C-alpha cells in the first residue's frame, strides 16, 4: 500500500512518528513551503530563511536515504499556498491509499488538518509527536485536579521520570532549583565568550535569496544569518555550547549587556524547535558535562530546567488551554504596541538595544524578552493580541505553542495566573541591576517622575494603581500594594496621571 506521509517545516527529525514505518519502495514524503504558513504573521526574514533552508536540506537528507520526496517550493508555479491544498494536489492522481502525518504544534493548523482528515476520501492517520519529553496525556494527568499549575512542580516530576540530575529519589546536590545562584550582573571584567555562528551553506544562501525576493518587506535583516539548517550544523552548535559556554551559563544567564546579543545562552532553541536536535538528548548530554566535572551544577541545572521544565510546561499549558487561551486578557489591556518595537527608534537604551538585536538576529535572550520588551508592554497595557503578533513575527524560534504561554502568560499576565503566579512588572531598578544599559541612557533610572525619568519608573506605580482591583489580593504583590496604600489617595492619583502621560508619550494609545 502506498502511503503519503506529510512532514511539516518544524518536523525535521529522523525519528518523526509519521515516518516510523515508511516503506521507501512505495511511499512518498510530502514537504511544502506555502504562503499560508509564511504569512499568517509576517515572520522575520531569518525565520523564513531558516525554515525553508532546513526543510530543503532535510528533503535532500531523506532523498539520500532512498526516500521519494515530493517537495513544493514557495515559488513553484502550481503551489496552492496551503498545507491542505498541497495534500489535496498530491492525492489528485489516486496513487496513494492513505495519509499519515504527525500532529502539528499549533492549534490553528491542527484545526485545518483535522478538517482535511474528516473530509478525506481515504484513511488519514494523525500520530502523536513523540519528540517531546512529556506527552499530552502525561501533562493532563499531572494537571488534573490542581488548583494551580506551577512549572516548578511539573519540572520535579519530569526530573523523577527521566532520572536527569537525580541522586536516587533526591535531586542532585540536595536542591531542585539553583536559580538563586543564577542572577549575577555582568561584571566589567567579564567578557562573554566568542560564539560559533554557522556560515550559510549553499542551500541556506538560496533560501535567503528567495526570502529577500518574495518577502522583502518583512521585518528584520538577513545579513547576520548564522543559524544551523542541518542536523550536522546543529550538532556543531550544541557541542560548542556544551564545551565552551555552558560552564558559565548559570552565573550570567539573567545578565544583559549593550551590544552583546548572545551572552552565555545556548542558541539552540531554533534547532530543537525545528527537530534538528532532540530535547531529551540535549538534557542528557548537559548532565554528562556536569558528571564529568566540566560544568558546575547551577549552570547545568539552570540550562536543563529551561528545556525539561519550562519548554515542556508551556507546551502542556498551550494544548491544555487552547483555543480559549488565545483570547485571554485578564488585565483588560487595550493599548496599541508602540512603533518603536519595530523601528528601535527610542531613547530607552535597553529597548533600543533589544529591538536592534531582534532585528539583526531574530533573537534576544529570555530576560531581554521578559524584562525589557515584555515588561514594558505589560506596564503600558498593550493588548495581548498585538504583543503576541510581535513576538511571533520577530523571533526565529517562535512557534505559537511556545510563544503564546510565554507572552500571554509569563510576560503579560493576560491568563490571570495560569503560567505565572504574579505579573513580572518591574521598574527601571531591575534593568539597572541586571545590565549596563542605564549608564548611557538619556533617561534617569533614579528619577521616579517627569520627562527625564526612566519610563519604567513612571509606569510602574501607575500600573499597580490601574490594576488594583485585579491584583491587590495577589499574595506575591502584597508588599508593593501595602506601599501603594501608604501613599494616600492624592499621590495614587498623581502616579496614575504620570503613568497615563508616559503611555501617551510612548505611543501606547487606545486601540480604536
488-509: pLDDT as tens digits: 999 999 999 999 999 999 999 9
Task: Give 179's pLDDT tier (boundaries 50, 70, 90).
Answer: confident
Q: CB–CB of 327/496 below 8 Å?
A: no
Separation in Å, CA 422 to CA 378, 415, 417, 481: 12, 11, 6, 13
> How does the average pLDDT of the chain come out, rounded?
97
- Averaged pLDDT, 393-401: 98
CA distance 28 to 87: 12
pLDDT, one tens digit per residue, over 180-224 is 888 888 888 899 999 999 999 999 999 999 999 999 999 999 999
Q: How many C-beta neighbours within 10 Å does residue 105 have?
A: 20
Residue 266, C-alpha cell as written in the block: 545556548
Portions of the chain given CATH number 3.40.50.620? 3-127
What's the pLDDT score for residue 295?
Answer: 98
Separation in Å, CA 65 to CA 23, 27, 69: 11, 13, 11
What's the pLDDT score for residue 91?
Answer: 97
Portions of the chain given CATH number 1.25.40.80? 136-201+215-321
- Averaged pLDDT, 12-35: 97
- Averaged pLDDT, 257-274: 97
Query: What is the CATH topology of the domain spanning 136-201+215-321?
Result: 1.25.40
Separation in Å, CA 318 to CA 144, 194, 405, 407: 15, 35, 6, 12
pLDDT, one tens digit per residue, over 140-171 is 999 999 999 999 999 999 999 999 999 999 99
This prediction's pTM: 0.96
CA distance 446 to 428: 8
Residue 150, C-alpha cell as written in the block: 506551577
Q: Does domain 3-127 bear CATH number 3.40.50.620?
A: yes
- Averaged pLDDT, 303-329: 97
Position 1 pLDDT exceeds 90: no
**% of the chain with per-residue pLDDT over 90:** 97
Q: How many C-beta neighbours within 10 Å does residue 127 have?
A: 14
Portions of the chain given CATH number 1.10.579.10? 340-505
- Averaged pLDDT, 16-32: 97
Q: Which of 41-45, 92-96, 107-111, 288-292 bottoms out in mean pLDDT, i.e. has the lowest?
A: 92-96
Q: CB–CB of 385/414 below 8 Å?
A: no
- Averaged pLDDT, 95-117: 97
What's the pLDDT score for residue 183?
Answer: 84
CATH code of 340-505, in short, is 1.10.579.10
What's the pLDDT score for residue 181?
Answer: 83
Give yes or no for a cis peptide into 323 (omega within 30° of 0): yes
Report residue 126: phi and psi, to 5°: -110, 115
479's CB contacts (< 8 A; 6+ apart) are none
**% of the chain with per-residue pLDDT over 70:** 100
What's the pLDDT score for residue 176?
Answer: 97
Position 305 pLDDT exceeds 90: yes
Amino acid at each position: 500500500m502506498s502511503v503519503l506521509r506529510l512532514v511539516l517545516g518544524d518536523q525535521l527529525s529522523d525519528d518523526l512518528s509519521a515516518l516510523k514505518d515508511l516503506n521507501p519502495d512505495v511511499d512518498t514524503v510530502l514537504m511544502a513551503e506555502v504562503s499560508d504558513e509564511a504569512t499568517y504573521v509576517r515572520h522575520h526574514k531569518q525565520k523564513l530563511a531558516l525554515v525553508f533552508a532546513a526543510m530543503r536540506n532535510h528533503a535532500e537528507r531523506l532523498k539520500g536515504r532512498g526516500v521519494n520526496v515530493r517537495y513544493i517550493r514557495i515559488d513553484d508555479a502550481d503551489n496552492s499556498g496551503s498545507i491542505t491544498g498541497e495534500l489535496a494536489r498530491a492525492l489528485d492522481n489516486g496513487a496513494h491509499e492513505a495519509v499519515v502525518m504527525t500532529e502539528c504544534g499549533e492549534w490553528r493548523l491542527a484545526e485545518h488538518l483535522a478538517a482535511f482528515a474528516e473530509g478525506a476520501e481515504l484513511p488519514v492517520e494523525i500520530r502523536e509527536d513523540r519528540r517531546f519529553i512529556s506527552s499530552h496525556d502525561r501533562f493532563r494527568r499531572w494537571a488534573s485536579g490542581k488548583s494551580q499549575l506551577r512549572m516548578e512542580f511539573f519540572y520535579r516530576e519530569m526530573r523523577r521520570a527521566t532520572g536527569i540530575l537525580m541522586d536516587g529519589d533526591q535531586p542532585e546536590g540536595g536542591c531542585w532549583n539553583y536559580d538563586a545562584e543564577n542572577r549575577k550582573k555582568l561584571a566589567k571584567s567579564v567578557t562573554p565568550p566568542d560564539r560559533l555562528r554557522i556560515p550559510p551553506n549553499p542551500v541556506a544562501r538560496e533560501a535567503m535569496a528567495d526570502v529577500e525576493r518574495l518577502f522583502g518587506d518583512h521585518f528584520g535583516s538577513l545579513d547576520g544569518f548564522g543559524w544551523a539548517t542541518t542536523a550536522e550544523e546543529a550538532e556543531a552548535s550544541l557541542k560548542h555550547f556544551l564545551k565552551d559556554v555552558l560552564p558559565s551559563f548559570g552565573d550570567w544567564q539573567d545578565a544583559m549587556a549593550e551590544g552583546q546579543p548572545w551572552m552565555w545562552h545556548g542558541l539552540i532553541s531554533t534547532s530543537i524547535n525545528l527537530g534538528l536536535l532532540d530535547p531529551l538528548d540535549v538534557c542528557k548530554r548537559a548532565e554528562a558535562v556536569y558528571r564529568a566535572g566540566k560544568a558546575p551544577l547551577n549552570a547545568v541545572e539552570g540550562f536543563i530546567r529551561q528545556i525539561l521544565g519550562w519548554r515542556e510546561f508551556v507546551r502542556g499549558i498551550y494544548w491544555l488551554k487552547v483555543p480559549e487561551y488565545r483570547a485571554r486578557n485578564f488585565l483588560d489591556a487595550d493599548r496599541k504596541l508602540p512603533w518603536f518595537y519595530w523601528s528601535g527608534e527610542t531613547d530607552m537604551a535597553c529597548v533600543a538595544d533589544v529591538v536592534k538585536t531582534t532585528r539583526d538576529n531574530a533573537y534576544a535572550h529570555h530576560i531581554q524578552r521578559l524584562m525589557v520588551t515584555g515588561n514594558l508592554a505589560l506596564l503600558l497595557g498593550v493588548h495581548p493580541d498585538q504583543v503576541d503578533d510581535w513576538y511571533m513575527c520577530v523571533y526565529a524560534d517562535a512557534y505559537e505553542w511556545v510563544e503564546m504561554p510565554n507572552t500571554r502568560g509569563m510576560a503579560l499576565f493576560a491568563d490571570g495566573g495560569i503560567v505565572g503566579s504574579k505579573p513580572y512588572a518591574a521598574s527601571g531598578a531591575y534593568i539597572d541591576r541586571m545590565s549596563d544599559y542605564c549608564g548611557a541612557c538619556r533617561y534617569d533610572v533614579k528619577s521616579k517622575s517627569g520627562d527625564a525619568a526612566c519610563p519604567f519608573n513612571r509606569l510602574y506605580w501607575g500600573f499597580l494603581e490601574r490594576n488594583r482591583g485585579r491584583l491587590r489580593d495577589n499574595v506575591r504583590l502584597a508588599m508593593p500594594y501595602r506601599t501603594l496604600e501608604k501613599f494616600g489617595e492624592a499621590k495614587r492619583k498623581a502616579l496614575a496621571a504620570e503613568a497615563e502621560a508616559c503611555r501617551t508619550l510612548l505611543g501606547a494609545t487606545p486601540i480604536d
